[in-house]
Amino acid sequence: MAFLKNVRGIADRLRFIGDERGYYPRRLAVSNHNHQTIEFIQKTQCRFIAEFGIYKGYTSIEFARFLNGRGELHLFDYEDRVNDVSKAIRSAGFNNIKTFGSSYKLLDSYNWCLAEVLNQHPDPIYDYVFLDGAHTWAVDALTTLLVDKLLVVGGYLDFDDYDWTLKGSSLDPKLFPLTRKLYTDRQIAAQQVKMIIDLLVRRDVRYREVVPNKIFQKIA
């Protein structure tokens, strides 16, 4: 049982560090959504939104309010989390939601759910993707490549935490010793979201940067 608890704990910490304060509820004074993301999307006509890493749904409910019943909001996270957040959003009167939940198995992730979406939709469907999940190259580099296939021309790819590192986060080996068994010192110090943006998005001529280090528009 101890081993299983450790595996679940590792998976939880590895993929949902977008809102690190979530691991320390006493420090969470307010239910913050990603203000920069919501302020930006309100200037667009986006109608099909995918959010990866929803935690308590603070940004999800703002997406739902923005859509106001139009289009669809797709939520990717652990199954229990997407179920809880979707219930809350439906209780607020918004029903245009689809959920894609993964298990707590260590090597499961929203990328498996994305494969199923790709199987069902050979053509792009999203005009806005907000990636606030694992923040690691091992998971989100693949996520970026997969969502590109689902993002329409003119759509937006939005990243959270450009400068984030394992070191200094809730996954710092000083707080969570198993991190040192999972990553090298170089990986622990690396800005892995920055790596994804710089190596996979900025080098792609089909994207232009519209919000520095955060939001990129697919132009071709």
- The pLDDT score that the predictor gives to residue 10 is 53
- The pLDDT score that the predictor gives to residue 36 is 96
Question: Quick one: average pLDDT of 142-156?
Answer: 98
Cα 88 to Cα 132: distance, rounded to the nearest angstrom:
20
Surface-to-core class of residue 8, CB atoms within 10 Å of its CB (0-12 exposed, 13-18 middle, 19+ buried): middle
Least confident of 6-20, 49-63, 102-116, 196-210: 6-20
- CATH number of the domain residue 21 falls in: 3.40.50.150
Its domain, for residue 56, covers 2-218
- Residue 1, C-beta contacts closer than 8 angstroms, at least 6 positions apart: none
Output the pTM of the full model: 0.87
* Cα 154 → chain centroid: 20
For the chain, the domain total comes to: 1
